[in-house]
Chain A
Amino acid sequence: MNIVFLTLSAIMVLGAVLAVTLRNLVHCLLALVVFFLGIAGHFFLLKADFLGAAQILIYIGAVAVLILFAIMLTRNISGTEGGRSSLGGAWWLGVGLASSLAGMMCVFVRRSELVTKLPYGATEEGVVKEIGKLLVTDWVVPLEIMAVLLTAALIGAVVIALEEEKKR
């Protein structure tokens, strides 16, 4: 297990580093997809199959495609125009912020009850059912708010597209 974990993590770190250092935007996106896949792999490794599949469905099937469309609407995809941005004080600020965030995460995850309370071997048939039940009982309000928000976004997109149609 340890070898699998380390290999997966190494691939993920490589993908993450490449995603922020590569010049070509589409290459960055593909590196990011490698990172997303690594997260899905970690979920599968932790026997959280549902989360793993959801990760693939949402992050690779939807988020990556969304970023793709956004990239196709921008200029300078290949990253050849303009010089490399100067990595001055901002770089150190970023490193400081990221490492302090990571440190905070470590502390809180270690302190959290979830680490000890997590039902290990979560592949039992009941887990998906349990998630479903919780979604329509305890978490029904956040679920509904999310649904309304997404519907509003969808209608908004249609309205914007319709206005453009009328102008022609």
Chain B
Amino acid sequence: MDAIYQLIHDYCPTMPDWLALALAILLPIAIVMGVFLTVFALLTWVERKALGRIQNRRGPNRVGPVGLFQPIADGLKLLTKEDIVPNAADKVVHFLAPVLVVVPAFMVLAVVPVAKGFIAVDLNIGVLFALAVSTASVLALFMAGWASHNKFSLLGAMRGVAQVVSYEVPMVLAAVVVLMASGSLSSVSIVEAQRGLTGWFVCKPWGLVGFVIFQLCAMAEVARTPFDLPEAESEIVAGYHTEYSGFKFALFQMGEYVAAITMGGITVTMFLGGYLGPGCDLPKFGWLISACWFFAKLGIIVVINIWARGTWPRVRVDQLLGFAWKLLLPLSLVNIVAMAVWHFAPNKLVGWVESAVLLAVAIVALVKINAGQTFEKRSYRFTS
């Protein structure tokens, strides 16, 4: 923001100060919104195509070349659809919920460094801000479920709240190792700390484990398919957004997809070296190359998400919560210890071996302990 303000000041010194300031504030917001809304529109198309491929069908192929204009058609359809509000619904809260779903998803984008030197706001607590704001979506989710006055909506919302609260814990703990390694909360310094051939945090034993935990928790946090219990169609219609139609429904979809993209962006920033890659430091086109690297990595994460969605069945509620509390949470705690062992090791090789052995033992032990409990037959409380 300050850099843009300086630029405007240098090129047109006659511009009034308030206008320059307003431009400096609005320009990064406009760029970020524009880029990521385009990515969102493309992502819906990519997802439907990829899922079609996995399920041995063609996916959208009617609108435009290879169905590329499908997102536009969807948007127009949802915009012109009648907006139905249930009679018993709490009108104000019902209206506010879809708006509030989108806000945190976009706010997190402010601290994602998209390219070298391009970040909307370089907060020195960037990662903490991202983690804090992304959990605020839980309230919007609950508002939607509660205001609809529908048992399925409320069930979905309760599931969603339980899920997000549970997965938040291992997610934050998995992020801790990155903060320990980089010694900073700022997203730009975290990226800069990953320079070098094997500098990416994912190339280290604790980084790999942290990456896997963080990625799983991110998928659960935005309720992507193996973890999409809050909107499980086979059980509770559409969960918390059962009573939404038209553009409000579109906003829920947008919130979910944008949150998936932003969580992917945070994952890339923290574990995959962000915008780093060969050529990202070139004086002239470095920003373009680094942006390409960032979006390529983001694309890989997004495709992993779609792939998981197409190949895994939805888990059960008890499996979902047990997985978070009994496996991911202890593992992320061990991971922090492994990071400390790495840090205090006399040389790199010793640190590598020690932390890898520690983590391997922990994973084997945790899987063994949980093996009997994870897949036992569920006894239902209120039947028989």
Question: Is the pair A61, B128 in contact by a Cβ cutoff of 8 Å?
Answer: no
Question: Is the pair A65, B138 in contact by a Cβ cutoff of 8 Å?
Answer: yes
The answer to the question of A68 belonging to the interface, with a C-beta cut-off of 8 Å to chain B, is yes
The answer to the question of B184 belonging to the interface, with a C-beta cut-off of 8 Å to chain A, is yes
Which of these binds chain A: B77-85, B139-147, B306-314, B336-344?
A: B139-147
The answer to the question of B132 belonging to the interface, with a C-beta cut-off of 8 Å to chain A, is yes
Question: Is the pair A128, B125 in contact by a Cβ cutoff of 8 Å?
Answer: yes
Question: Is the pair B142, A68 in contact by a Cβ cutoff of 8 Å?
Answer: yes
Q: In the complex, A128→B185 CA distance in Å?
A: 8
| A48: nearest chain-B partner, CB-CB | B125
Which residues on the B side are within 8 Å of A64 (C-beta)?
Answer: 139
Q: In the complex, A96→B163 CA distance in Å?
A: 43
Q: In the complex, A155→B381 CA distance in Å?
A: 23
Q: A26-B146, A68-B142, A168-B381 are known contacts. Are A125 and B135 too (CB-CB below 8 A)?
A: no
* Binary CB contact string for chain A from 37 to 55 against chain B (1 if under 8 A, 0 otherwise): 0000000000001100110
Which residues on the A side are within 8 Å of B131 (C-beta)?
Answer: 57
Question: Is the pair A56, B161 in contact by a Cβ cutoff of 8 Å?
Answer: no
Q: A65-B138, A125-B184 are known contacts. Are A50 and B128 too (CB-CB below 8 A)?
A: yes
Q: In the complex, A1→B128 CA distance in Å?
A: 25
Measured between C-beta atoms, what is the minimum distance from A30 to chain B in Å?
Answer: 7
Which residues on the A side are within 8 Å of B25 (C-beta)?
Answer: none
The answer to the question of A12 belonging to the interface, with a C-beta cut-off of 8 Å to chain B, is no
Question: Is the pair B93, A65 in contact by a Cβ cutoff of 8 Å?
Answer: no
The answer to the question of A60 belonging to the interface, with a C-beta cut-off of 8 Å to chain B, is yes
Question: Is the pair A68, B161 in contact by a Cβ cutoff of 8 Å?
Answer: yes
Question: Is the pair B135, A49 in contact by a Cβ cutoff of 8 Å?
Answer: no
Question: Is the pair A61, B138 in contact by a Cβ cutoff of 8 Å?
Answer: yes
Question: Is the pair B136, A60 in contact by a Cβ cutoff of 8 Å?
Answer: yes
Q: How large is the interface on B (under 10, 10 to 19, 20 to 34, 35 or more residues)?
A: 20 to 34
Chain B binding surface SS class: helix
Measured between C-beta atoms, what is the minimum distance from B91 to chain A in Å?
Answer: 12
The answer to the question of B269 belonging to the interface, with a C-beta cut-off of 8 Å to chain A, is no
Question: Is the pair B93, A27 in contact by a Cβ cutoff of 8 Å?
Answer: yes
Chain A binding surface SS class: helix
The answer to the question of B317 belonging to the interface, with a C-beta cut-off of 8 Å to chain A, is no
The answer to the question of A19 belonging to the interface, with a C-beta cut-off of 8 Å to chain B, is no
* Binary CB contact string for chain A from 60 to 72 against chain B (1 if under 8 A, 0 otherwise): 1100110011001
Question: Is the pair A57, B128 in contact by a Cβ cutoff of 8 Å?
Answer: yes
Q: In the complex, A50→B132 CA distance in Å?
A: 11
Q: In the complex, A19→B128 CA distance in Å?
A: 28
The answer to the question of B133 belonging to the interface, with a C-beta cut-off of 8 Å to chain A, is yes
Measured between C-beta atoms, what is the minimum distance from A31 to chain B in Å?
Answer: 11
Measured between C-beta atoms, what is the minimum distance from B320 to chain A in Å?
Answer: 17
Which residues on the A side are within 8 Å of B124 (C-beta)?
Answer: 49, 123-125, 127-128
Q: In the complex, A64→B146 CA distance in Å?
A: 15
Question: Is the pair A65, B165 in contact by a Cβ cutoff of 8 Å?
Answer: yes
Measured between C-beta atoms, what is the minimum distance from A88 to chain B in Å?
Answer: 31
The answer to the question of B249 belonging to the interface, with a C-beta cut-off of 8 Å to chain A, is no
The answer to the question of B129 belonging to the interface, with a C-beta cut-off of 8 Å to chain A, is yes
| B134: nearest chain-A partner, CB-CB | A61
Question: Is the pair A53, B139 in contact by a Cβ cutoff of 8 Å?
Answer: no
Q: In the complex, A125→B124 CA distance in Å?
A: 6
Q: In the complex, A63→B185 CA distance in Å?
A: 24
Question: Is the pair A56, B132 in contact by a Cβ cutoff of 8 Å?
Answer: yes
In residues 52-100 of chain A, which contact B (Cβ within 8 Å)? Answer: 53-54, 56-57, 60-61, 64-65, 68-69, 72
Measured between C-beta atoms, what is the minimum distance from B167 to chain A in Å?
Answer: 12
Measured between C-beta atoms, what is the minimum distance from B325 to chain A in Å?
Answer: 10
Most chain A CB atoms below 10 A, which of B133, B142, B165: B142
Measured between C-beta atoms, what is the minimum distance from B337 to chain A in Å?
Answer: 16
In residues 91-144 of chain B, which contact A (Cβ within 8 Å)? Answer: 93, 123-125, 128-129, 131-133, 135-136, 138-139, 142-143
Q: A50-B125, A50-B128, A56-B133 are known contacts. Are A125 and B165 too (CB-CB below 8 A)?
A: no
Measured between C-beta atoms, what is the minimum distance from A65 to chain B in Å?
Answer: 6
Which residues on the B side are within 8 Å of A168 (C-beta)?
Answer: 381
Q: Can you list 27 residue pairs at the A/B interface with Cβ under 8 Å?
A: A26-B90, A27-B93, A30-B143, A33-B139, A50-B125, A50-B128, A54-B128, A54-B132, A56-B132, A56-B136, A57-B131, A57-B132, A57-B135, A61-B132, A61-B135, A61-B136, A61-B138, A65-B138, A65-B139, A65-B142, A65-B161, A68-B142, A69-B161, A127-B124, A128-B124, A128-B125, A128-B185
| 12 more CB-based (< 8 A) A-B contacts, given A24-B90, A26-B90, A68-B142 | A53-B129, A56-B129, A56-B132, A56-B133, A60-B139, A61-B132, A61-B168, A65-B138, A65-B165, A68-B139, A123-B124, A125-B186
5 closest cross-chain pairs (CB), A and B: A57-B132, A61-B135, A56-B132, A53-B128, A53-B132
Q: Which residues of B contact A (CB under 8 A)?
A: 90, 93, 123-125, 128-129, 131-133, 135-136, 138-139, 142-143, 146, 158, 161, 165, 168, 183-186, 381
Q: Which residues of A contact B (CB under 8 A)?
A: 24, 26-27, 30, 33, 49-50, 53-54, 56-57, 60-61, 64-65, 68-69, 72, 123-125, 127-129, 168
